[in-house]
Structure 1
Amino acid sequence: MPNEGSFEASLKRSNAIRADFAENPGKYRMLTGDRPTGRLHLGHYFGSIMHRVQMQNAGIDSMVLIADYQVITDRDTTANIQDNVYNMVMDYIAAGIDPEKTVIYTHSAVPACNQLMLPFLSLVTEAELLRNPTVKAEMEASGHELTGLLLTYPVHQACDILFCKANVVPVGKDQLPHIEVTRKIARTFNNRYGQVFPEPEGILSDAIEIPGLDGRKMSKSYGNSIMLGATEEETAKLIKKSKTDGERRITFDRENRPGVSALLTTAALCTGRTEIEIAEEIGDAGAGALKKYVTESVNAFLAPHRERRRELERDLDYIKDVLHEGNKRANEIANATLDEVREAMGMVY
């Protein structure tokens, strides 16, 4: 029998919950979110946003966090953060996240959520935090010294999940250690002070990793991303510059032909076809024909999103209203949870 914290056990629980979504959506509250470090790209859409919209539309109570405080875990500046936040909200709504059904809010606007850090920090050890693979990876990627905020990043995420008593959190395999920290914090708090929090489950996405235009993971920091809000011309220029190889015949071989294969995967996701089918169709027409096909596929797929986004860009007051309403609702939930925590801890005076 697999260990409760193992990937196999997590996958088994995730699959059981996903199967139950259609039957009992009202049993679940989903929390998910992004750091506003730049614009959202196609990898974000296929990797997470698309699935959030599906869960929202299935009737699952949904909350989407714009984690502005978490920007400074590994960065020395908050330059452009307001612009990034507003653009993130535009892309969310353009992609189908409905503010009438989903609470969209920002970290820094919900003090009671962040106040949970104090009791939660008492429930984890330094060794547990240092073992977290995501903390190590973030530290190495940033080249920073280990700050207190980066070290306690998993605890901050536990606050995000538990303040609203979310019981499902969409994650990739690499984020499961964060869920285990959150489950441990909830369990320890409940055992020590009384039942307040659910133990959330990570819902493992079946989405493939979206390659960037150079075959590496699509990432803002690599400059290999197709932004959701980019123009058709910007998209065409980016795809035209992408690296392929010297072979004329187009084939799908992710390991040996990463550039060509990344373009094929991008086109496949946008058209619903397979990479092999597209490769066979292009055949000996070469990289130029492939790039033309990818450009047309991406621009056709993103056309409705971009049209909705342009409408939202003309109404910044609406975007601000969405955030204000989301922040108001998140604060109501956070204040109620913090009151429960104080009551459980005997700190009501």
Structure 2
Amino acid sequence: MTTALATDHHAADHAAAEARSVELDRRVRLDPGRFRMLTGDRPTGPLHLGHYFGTVHNRVRLQNLGVDLFVIVADYQVLTDRDVADRLTEHVEGLVLDYLAAGVAPDRATVFAHSAVPALNQLMLPFLSLVSTAELGRNPTVKDEIAHSRQSAVSGLMFTYPVHQAADILFCKANLVPVGRDQQPHVELTRTVARRFNERYAPAGQPVFPEPEMLLSAAPLLLGTDGGKMSKSRGNAIPLAADADETARLIKGARTDTERRISYDPVGRPEVSSLVLLAALCQDRDPHQVAAEAGDGGSAGLKRIVTEAVNEHLAPLRARRAEYARDRGLVRQILRTGNERANAVAEATLVDVRAAMRMDY
């Protein structure tokens, strides 16, 4: 396939995926109770504004619609590209606090730790038997992670990462997974695992697992303070947990350009436009309006607008976080309750899996 044809093919695939996602979102809004969603994060540091506007905000929206939300604190997956999981307890509790601050409701969502659900991880063995090593090696996320790995050699855990994610999604029989464009191959492999398991083991017309559908994120990309992708590991992020002064300091140090007239031009002026977009997202406004307001104020004027918008938007989140942080026992209890529910769901799924595989002896 020539480069031009391949580009056209990928564009057509993405357009089709976006059309399916729009239709899926419509069905979710019509009947949210039919859907169970699995999502989550690795506890490697605090969540930042990129996470919030990219995924967390949408999780809360779907939860509030009535979707059954499962949020995994993927502590085992910290080990995929690290030799040790440093400060893990601190990061796990911090992640739960960030979720609660953002609006994840413990009475409507199941927040649980990966390592606390043995039956989930037991699904890895039959699932690995359904996937070839060539398929794992072709996964673009695995290839990218391997290329940027901090380790001298690739671990088996890193190589089997997509199957781990399939177990995360399918243990609770989730039928809805919110994803960014770079995560689509993981969900495709999960759909493949579900389909192959059903074809190999399930009675005709009685599938054990659903083939989860992808809800594509419409969130635009927020750049970090250095102009690169906002990332925990790159030290260029604005954490949700930062106070107002720290947020002001980080925004003040963000990279811009020398042109005084502020405009919204993501291609021509990516750093300036990312700041404009951040203010627009916080204020629920069109970014062109924000740029017009900044006018000829230059980067200093723009950064004042952005700082005020971010701090105003995050004020209620910070208040909720501080309230929960005062009672770490409550945070641990929320996690324990989530672990208990996740274990009950995983055990029930494992019963179905054993019965389908004729291993219920």
Partner of 2:113: 106
Deviation readout 1:65-109 (Å, 9 max, x if unpaired): 110100111111211111111111111111111111100001000
Runs of 5+ consecutive residues of structure 2 not aligned to the other structure: 1-8
Return the match for 1:71 from 64, 72, 78: 78
CA displacement at 1:215 relative to structure 2: 2.8
Partner of 2:123: 116
> Does the aligned pair in 2 maintain the 1:211–1:265 contact within 8 Å?
no
Distance 2:180 2:39 in 1: 12
TM-score by length of 1: 0.96
Partner of 2:6: none
Return the match for 1:273 from 270, 285, 289: 285
Distance 2:279 2:227 in 1: 14
CA displacement at 1:13 relative to structure 2: 2.7
- The yes-or-no answer on 1:320 pairing with 2:320 is no
- Overall identity of the aligned pairs, in %: 55
Distance 2:300 2:215 in 1: 39
Partner of 1:97: 104
Distance 2:111 2:342 in 1: 8
Deviation readout 1:30-85 (Å, 9 max, x if unpaired): 11111111001111111111111111111111101110100111111211111111
Q: Secondary structure at the match of 1:127?
A: helix
CA displacement at 1:160 relative to structure 2: 0.4
Distance 1:301 1:323 in 2: 27
- The yes-or-no answer on 1:180 pairing with 2:188 is yes
Matched length: 347
Distance 2:268 2:30 in 1: 44
Distance 1:9 1:344 in 2: 34
CA RMSD in angstroms comes to: 1.6
> Does the aligned pair in 2 maintain the 1:215–1:261 contact within 8 Å?
no
- The yes-or-no answer on 1:18 pairing with 2:25 is yes
- The yes-or-no answer on 1:168 pairing with 2:179 is no
Distance 2:334 2:126 in 1: 31
> Does the aligned pair in 2 maintain the 1:211–1:217 contact within 8 Å?
yes
Partner of 2:224: 212
Partner of 2:62: 55
Higher mean alpha-carbon deviation, 251-260 vs 196-205, is at: 251-260
Distance 1:207 1:281 in 2: 23
> Does the aligned pair in 2 maintain the 1:65–1:104 contact within 8 Å?
yes
Return the match for 2:167 from 137, 155, 159: 159
Higher mean alpha-carbon deviation, 64-73 vs 201-210, is at: 201-210
Deviation readout 1:228-287 (Å, 9 max, x if unpaired): 110111111111111222222222222332322221111111112222222222222221
Q: 1:15 to 1:229 in 2, by over 3 A?
A: same
Q: Secondary structure at the match of 1:90?
A: helix
> Does the aligned pair in 2 maintain the 1:213–1:263 contact within 8 Å?
no
Distance 1:249 1:16 in 2: 40
Q: 1:127 to 1:43 in 2, by over 3 A?
A: same
Aligned pairs for 1:279-294 (under 5 A) are 279-294=291-306
Partner of 2:270: 258
Partner of 1:88: 95
> Does the aligned pair in 2 maintain the 1:41–1:228 contact within 8 Å?
yes
Deviation readout 1:168-190 (Å, 9 max, x if unpaired): 00001111111111111111111
Return the match for 2:199 from 174, 191, 196: 191
Partner of 2:50: 43
Q: Secondary structure at the match of 1:203?
A: strand
Distance 1:252 1:304 in 2: 28
CA displacement at 1:310 relative to structure 2: 0.6
Q: Secondary structure at the match of 1:65?
A: strand
- The yes-or-no answer on 1:348 pairing with 2:360 is yes
Partner of 1:226: 238
Distance 1:69 1:6 in 2: 32
Higher mean alpha-carbon deviation, 194-203 vs 314-323, is at: 194-203
What is the letter of the counterpart of residue 108 of structure 1? Answer: S
TM-score by length of 2: 0.93
Runs of 5+ consecutive residues of structure 1 not aligned to the other structure: none
Distance 1:70 1:226 in 2: 23
Return the match for 1:310 from 322, 329, 349: 322
Distance 2:326 2:339 in 1: 22
Q: Secondary structure at the match of 1:196?
A: coil
Distance 1:254 1:8 in 2: 21
